[in-house]
């Protein structure tokens, strides 16, 4: 079995039918390829990633089962390179081995922090929280406290514990602002996470303040600025400040014209159309979204198409076109998993259609389903709106006892969510 990196590179190169000269061309010297294959030289992460690309092998597969007996510092640098390149799953085994075997060569806190970051990215929330709590309770990790709190906030968000996530992220920002020299990129990261959480819990006005602060500090990519503009537009739209929403959505649209990543461009274009739908012909917005949905279907992106159909249904409902709203909501329903967050929107539309058709029982069922999804995903703003609609409808029918019961259930949900369980103080 090929246990060294050099053996693996040689094996895949031979399978590909490449010479050392062909593999090295424009990257490194053929002599360096020879040294790598004989395990006399260790490539940097950048070189290793390019070698994997030329061999048409996923980096994780190239490294699978390899005994990376590197010097600890080299192994750490390699792991950091993987993290920066978003190769989180590949970095985890390296970082885990460093935690176990290199406590004196490299600060253990740094390794644990990067390991927790990777674990969150691949969805291992419990393991990440364990490592982060270990850091938070260690006096020598005080300098890392802002980042630890930020990641704990992210973990809480992934568990749909939004009040806890908000509490931790606010604390993280407070801690980072105490620094004598503030890193602008780090500051932006904290502001963006806090703004996004505030938006999720329905505090659009506060979210705007933090997004605008982030924009003033951030000189990042056009894609990131476009995303921030769209988030600002969404927050103003929620506050019914349509002029500001249109202004930011238009700024995003300009930046999106030069976005090269097709999938990202489609996603942002979708959001931009939704935000600009109030400033023009709504039927034109529907046609634009239909084109997007059809493109998603051609690319076998059923979930993407489902989310677009859900928004088309929403626009039709907003303009009292209930038959069309039901048609597109059902198309979304066929494309989306039952528990997808967008299904909450679908059930809200179907509830309104049912009430319009005087089918109160079906309307109530759809509202109940919407509430369950909003609760499951911690969608506080959407949940509040759905519960209020439900209670108003029940009250209008004279069913005050059931309306009170629904409101009491919502109150209990909030009390449970607001319990500060698991927060590191």
- Residue 107 located in a structural domain: no
- Residue 268 located in a structural domain: no
- Quote the pLDDT of residue 219: 63
- Quote the pLDDT of residue 52: 87
> Percent of the chain having pLDDT more than 70?
88
pLDDT digits (tens, 9 = 90+) for 306-341: 999 999 999 999 889 999 999 999 999 999 999 999
- Residue 323 located in a structural domain: yes
Grade residue 347 by pLDDT with cuts at 50, 70 and 90.
Answer: very high
Orientation of helix 204-217 relative to helix 184-200, angle to 10°: 160
- Residue 31 located in a structural domain: no
pLDDT digits (tens, 9 = 90+) for 81-96: 888 888 888 888 888 8
pLDDT of 44 > 80? The answer is no
- Quote the pLDDT of residue 266: 76
- Quote the pLDDT of residue 99: 80
- Residue 411 located in a structural domain: yes
pLDDT digits (tens, 9 = 90+) for 172-224: 999 888 877 778 888 889 999 999 999 888 888 999 999 999 988 876 677 78
- Quote the pLDDT of residue 2: 58
pLDDT of 152 > 50? The answer is yes
Residue range of the domain that includes 325: 319-425
For position 405, which CATH number holds? 1.25.40
- Residue 348 located in a structural domain: yes
**Residue 53: Cβ within 10 Å count:** 11
Query: 13 vs 417, which has greater pLDDT?
Result: 13
Average pLDDT, the chain: 84
- Residue 228 located in a structural domain: no
Which of 32-36, 137-141, 155-159, 214-218 is predicted with the least confidence, judged by mean pLDDT? 137-141
Nearest to 366 by CA among 326, 416, 319, 315: 326
Query: 285 vs 365, which has greater pLDDT?
Result: 365
Number of domains the chain is built from: 1
- Residue 262 located in a structural domain: no
pLDDT digits (tens, 9 = 90+) for 367-380: 999 999 988 887 87
């Amino acid at each position: 079995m090929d246990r060294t990196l050099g053996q693996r590179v040689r094996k895949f190169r031979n399978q590909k039918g490449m010479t050392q000269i062909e593999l090295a061309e424009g990257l490194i010297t053929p002599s360096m390829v020879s040294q790598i294959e004989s395990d006399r030289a260790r490539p940097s992460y950048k070189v290793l990633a390019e070698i994997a690309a030329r061999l048409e092998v996923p980096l994780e597969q190239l490294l699978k089962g390899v005994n990376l007996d590197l010097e600890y510092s080299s192994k750490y640098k390699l792991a950091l390179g993987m993290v920066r390149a978003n190769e989180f799953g590949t970095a985890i085994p390296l970082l885990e081995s460093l935690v176990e075997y290199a406590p004196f060569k490299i600060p253990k806190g740094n390794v644990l922090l990067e390991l927790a970051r990777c674990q969150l990215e691949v969805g291992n929330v419990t393991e990440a929280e364990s490592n982060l709590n270990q850091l938070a309770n260690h006096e020598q990790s005080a300098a890392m406290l802002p980042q630890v709190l930020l990641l704990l906030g992210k973990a809480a968000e992934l568990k749909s514990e939004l009040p806890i996530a908000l509490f931790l992220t606010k604390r993280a920002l407070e801690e980072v602002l105490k620094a004598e020299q503030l890193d602008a990129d780090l500051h932006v990261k904290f502001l963006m996470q806090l703004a996004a959480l505030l938006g999720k819990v329905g505090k659009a006005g506060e979210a705007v303040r933090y997004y605008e602060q982030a924009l003033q500090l951030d000189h990042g990519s056009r894609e990131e600025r476009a995303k921030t503009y769209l988030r600002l537009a969404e927050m103003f739209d929620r506050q019914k400040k349509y002029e500001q929403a249109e202004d930011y959505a238009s700024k995003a649209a300009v930046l999106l014209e030069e976005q090269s990543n097709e999938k990202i461009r489609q996603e942002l274009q979708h959001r931009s159309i939704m935000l600009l739908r109030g400033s023009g012909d709504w039927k034109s917005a529907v046609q634009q979204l239909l084109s997007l949905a059809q493109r998603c279907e051609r690319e076998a992106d059923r979930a993407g198409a489902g989310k677009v159909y859900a928004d088309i249904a929403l626009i039709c409902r907003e303009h009292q076109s209930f038959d069309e709203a039901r048609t597109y909501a059902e198309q979304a329903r066929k494309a989306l998993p039952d528990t997808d967050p967008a299904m909450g929107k679908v059930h809200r539309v179907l509830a309104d259609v049912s009430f319009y058709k005087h089918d109160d029982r079906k309307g109530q069922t759809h509202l109940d389903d919407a509430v369950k999804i909003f609760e499951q995903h911690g969608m506080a703003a959407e949940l509040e709106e759905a519960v209020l609609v439900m209670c108003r409808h029940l009250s209008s029918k004279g069913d005050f006892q059931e309306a009170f019961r629904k409101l009491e259930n919502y109150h209990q949900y909030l009390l449970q969510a607001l319990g500060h369980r698991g927060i590191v103080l």
